[in-house]
Amino acid sequence: MVSAARIAAAPLGRSLAVALLALGGRAQATFSRHFDGGYDPDSSDRLVGSETGGIVVRNLSLRYGERCAFENLTGEFAPASLTAVIGPNGAGKSSLLKVLAGIIRPASGEVVCSALARHRLAYLPQQDELDRDFPITVAELVALGDWRKFGSVREVPPGLATVVHEAVAAVGLSSAIDRPIAELSVGQFQRALFARLLLQDADVILLDEPFAALDESTTEDLLRFLQRWQEEGRTVVAVLHDLDRARRYFPTTLLLARVPIAWGDTPVSLTADNLARAQNVAAPPENDRVGQTA
């Protein structure tokens, strides 16, 4: 009697399990469609050549309350260009990057950037904007770069570990791959973030002071990635402080001092005359900073 009931119940249980699994799969798919930016892991929407699109800005202005971060910015970060954004403190460089990345909405003007809409834009914030105490290891941090492959709820693809190892090796951090980020030095942490950028495979890469407080050898290593990205046809924009570095490695420069002073080929933009003008325009009558984002 008991065994008969069990035999009858077995297929019932199995079909119930199948139904539940199907339900779970459907829920997961629906969820991904709504919350994961509608991304389909099987479609490759990476465009090539000039199609990757640079960034065009028209009459862009940003204000923090009464104070203007920058204004009247019009121009183009051309596709596959490598641009340095240079300017005095409080000139609105970091704010500009945040607007380009879609983090802050500008007061007026527009940004045309197809990479942003296609989630093909990568933004590297200043280091102190990330919580270094966060309990995450280097491998986990780097693996996030492949987010588009697994999203919020899907299983991670089987090849992820290999890709992560390769990226971590490429930035020279293999020995620290399983260490929590709290134990990394500033330079090592920046290397880890660059490894994440490698996985992210973005068309447009925005870097906010990527070399601040880094030693020479780390800077040299990371600069090579910027050049490689440009050769691969990606649009790279980096906020810099070091004029020599800009002259040596960056073909294009935007000199910004609340208003654009010069935007074009680096030797033409970074003349002594332009730099002096930038200092004068930006010399702030009051000494308040635009918060930590200045």
Partner 1 sequence: MIDFLIGPFVTFGFMRVALVACFALALANGPVGTLLLMRRESLDGNVLSHAVVPGAALGFLYAGYSLAVLTLGGLLSGLAVAGLAALLARSRPRLHDTSLIAFYLVSLSFGVMIVAARGSQADLMHVLFGTVLAVDLKALVLIACISSVTMLAIAAFYRPLAVESFDPAFLRAVGGGGGAFRAIFITLVVLNLVASFQAFGTLLAIGPMLLPAAAARCWTRKVWPTMALATLIGMAAALAGLLISYYAKLPSGPAIVMGAGVIYGVSSLAAGRTRLKPRGI
Instruction: List contacts with partner 1 (CB under 8 A).
Output: 34-39, 101-103, 119, 121-123, 125, 130-132, 134-136, 144, 147-148, 151-153, 180, 182-186, 200, 202, 291
- Minimum gap (Å) between residue 116 Cβ and partner 1: 8
- Minimum gap (Å) between residue 268 Cβ and partner 1: 32
- Minimum gap (Å) between residue 35 Cβ and partner 1: 4
Q: Which residue number, 52 or 269, has a Cβ lying nearer to partner 1? A: 52
Q: Which residue number, 206 or 246, has a Cβ lying nearer to partner 1? A: 206
- Minimum gap (Å) between residue 71 Cβ and partner 1: 20
Q: Which residue number, 3 or 287, has a Cβ lying nearer to partner 1? A: 287
What DSSP element (H or E) covers 103? none
Distance CA 146, CA 5 (A): 49
- Minimum gap (Å) between residue 137 Cβ and partner 1: 9
Q: Give how far Cα 182 sits from Cα of 26, 33, 44, 176, 280, Å.
A: 38, 34, 35, 12, 41
Instruction: Using alpha carbons, select from 253, 225, 249, 227 the residue that is nearest to residue 239.
Output: 253
Q: Dihedral of CA 77/78/80/85: which sign? A: negative
Q: Which residue number, 119 or 165, has a Cβ lying nearer to partner 1? A: 119
Q: In what order do the strands lie in the sheet with 67-77?
A: 67-77, 55-64, 108-112
Instruction: Using alpha carbons, select from 43, 27, 24, 46 the residue that is nearest to residue 35.
Output: 27
- Minimum gap (Å) between residue 83 Cβ and partner 1: 19
Contact, 154 vs 28, CB < 8 A? yes
Q: Which residue number, 106 or 260, has a Cβ lying nearer to partner 1? A: 106
Q: Which residue number, 123 or 249, has a Cβ lying nearer to partner 1? A: 123
Q: Which residue number, 63 or 277, has a Cβ lying nearer to partner 1? A: 63
The residue whose two tokens read 């920058």 is 70
H helices within the chain, ranges in order?
2-35, 93-100, 114-117, 138-143, 147-150, 160-170, 186-200, 216-231, 243-249, 266-269, 272-282
Contact, 274 vs 254, CB < 8 A? no
Residue 180 is given by DSSP the state B
- Minimum gap (Å) between residue 37 Cβ and partner 1: 2
